[in-house]
Chain A
Amino acid sequence: MKLPKPIARAVALMSPDARSDRVVPPSGHTAWLTLFTAAAMTFLCVFAIALSLASGRLAGRWSDAMARTSTIRLAAPPAQMDQQTEAILTLLAATPGVDSARALTDEENRALLEPWFGPELPIEELPLPRLIEVTEGDPGYDAEGLRQRLSAEAPGAVLDDHTRWRRPLAEAASKLRLLGLLSIVLIGTAMAAMVTLAASASLEANAQVVRVLRLVGARDQYIARAFVRRFTLRAFAGSCVGAVAGLIGILFLPGADTAGAFLTGLGFTGWSWLLPFILPPLVGLVAFFSTRTAALRKLREFR
């Protein structure tokens, strides 16, 4: 099967050719620079991907949890509290889109207030509003219609469907995810720039070699191949090291049990564990194109 010309040229550029590789002298510092850059950038990229995915998951979880529940806060005279509560629960039971509804017990109210007032709070003696937790069905209920009916049945009842909490959280989470993606793009661009610089430095240092090769009849593709292969393989190897180091780092991140609920889900889950393994070939590809572009541009300086 005949490959398209650009692909065939790329394959030719990467084909092993010991003699072509030998004509370029080994270059110590650019080799280490490329290797280290690729490793460090891939390591950072693994974390950027993990954080991006985790913030997405966290946002989804927060949104879902808040979107599926709402709270009715009932402020009524103590004598009417139970009666109005019952009326609201009856109303909710007949409301389409409401899956279930229940009034929070005194123990649950105490648990909610305990972080602020301590366990000894005499909750029975306080004029606290009654909280009713509403779990939505799918599709959900008509919030505006419910508010109107509540005001008729229980004038002291206020429906809080969490919209004003949910929106900024969802926005923050999507911005976090966007920042993560932007970081990945920036890391990739910075790596391409550094590999290009290293390749250009190597070509500059080997200007005499390039000149001799051109004068004895070497084509650009031949000269470029030696540089492109070298830098692509170095970047690939460095990236493999960085990806493995990044994965080990992710594995050692504190889990939800030890770090608390906020860190729940940091790292990879399911198929996303495969994502770091895509990085080395991608880094190799970036190195291939950036080195090739630098090499062919530099070669034009030699007739």
Chain B
Amino acid sequence: MIAFESAAYNYGGGELLSDVTLKLAPGSFHFLTGPSGSGKTTFLKLAYAELLPTAGHVTIFDREVKSLPRDDVANLRRRIGVVHQDVQFLDHLPLAANVQLPLTVAGRRSETGDLGELLKWVGLSHLADALPPSLSGGERQRAALARAIIMGPDVILADEPTGNVDWEMSLRLLTLLVELNRMGKTILIATHDLNLIRQAKNQIPTRVLRISKRRIQLAGVDL
């Protein structure tokens, strides 16, 4: 689905990621961990083509990202649900409109029932008409997850999805992501929360990747 081949990324001040070779297989569940500033967010941005590798290759659904026209980048993103670290919404639109934004920009309409089901699934049906600035951190994270999956994407990338929420909410979000994986979605979560990773490993087979010294390694059993 998403493949890195000797990919590197250089911010200009030095190489942040180097010689990354990795494939996210369909239906897999990956964690990406590493200290702050190690390049987790950069890796995710490369995985949904917000950044281009400065060396090597990244292919998304068998398309080399460097040669993708802008419209094709937009089309690919409709197949990738992203939960960003800094969850951003259109603050002037109510939550329901924000959640169905990917459908809106793709010119598709959602059935009212489907949207209601989705909001209920993430526990936000009572906030459908609320504006984003009035939501709490956990509510924003769940809304972002709902927005990420409303198009039925093949891959879900989440950047520190539990960064601003308490442990109870973290487990709730993890449960949602595990459920999605069981539905066949490919999941990659960037996090430094090792407890979350341990909790996930108890529920589902996962691979844990660690960024160390600009490279990606398979983490050991010490987690």
Question: Considering the complex, which residues of chain A in the window 120-142 have a beta carbon less than 8 Å from any beta carbon of chain B?
Answer: none
Q: How far is the CA of A221 from the CA of B147 in the complex (A)?
A: 22
Complex interface: stretch among A195-203, A211-219, A242-250, A285-293: A211-219
Q: How many A-B residue pairs have CB under 8 A?
A: 60
**Segment of B21-29, B90-98, B111-119 in the binding face:** B90-98
Residue A23 is within 8 A (CB to CB) of chain B in the complex: yes
Query: Is there contact, CB below 8 Å, between B70 and A25?
Result: no
Which of chain B's residues have a CB closer than 8 A to the CB of A214?
74, 77
Query: In the complex, what residue of chain A is closest to B45 when comparing beta carbons?
Result: A303
Chain A residues within 8 Å of B90, by CB? 23, 25, 209, 212
Stretch at the interface among B3-11, B100-108, B181-189, B214-222: B100-108
Closest to B92 in A: A25
User: In the assembly, what is the distance between CA of A213 and CA of B104, in Å?
Assistant: 10
Cβ-based interface call for A220 (8 A): yes
Assess the B105–A303 pair: CB atoms within 8 A.
no
Provide the bound-state CA to CA distance between A213 and B84, in Å. 13
Partner of A219, one of B71, B91, B102: B71
Contacts A212-B101, A217-B74, A217-B75 given; does A303 touch B88 at CB 8 Å: no
* Seed contacts A218-B74, A303-B50; 17 additional CB < 8 Å A-B pairs: A19-B104, A23-B93, A23-B101, A23-B104, A23-B105, A209-B90, A212-B88, A212-B90, A216-B101, A217-B78, A217-B102, A217-B105, A217-B151, A218-B105, A219-B71, A219-B105, A220-B70
Give residues in A with beta carbon < 8 Å to B.
Answer: 19-20, 22-23, 25-26, 208-209, 211-222, 300, 303
Chain A to chain B contacts (Cβ below 8 Å), 11 pairs: A19-B104, A23-B101, A23-B104, A215-B82, A216-B102, A217-B75, A220-B74, A222-B105, A300-B70, A303-B49, A303-B73
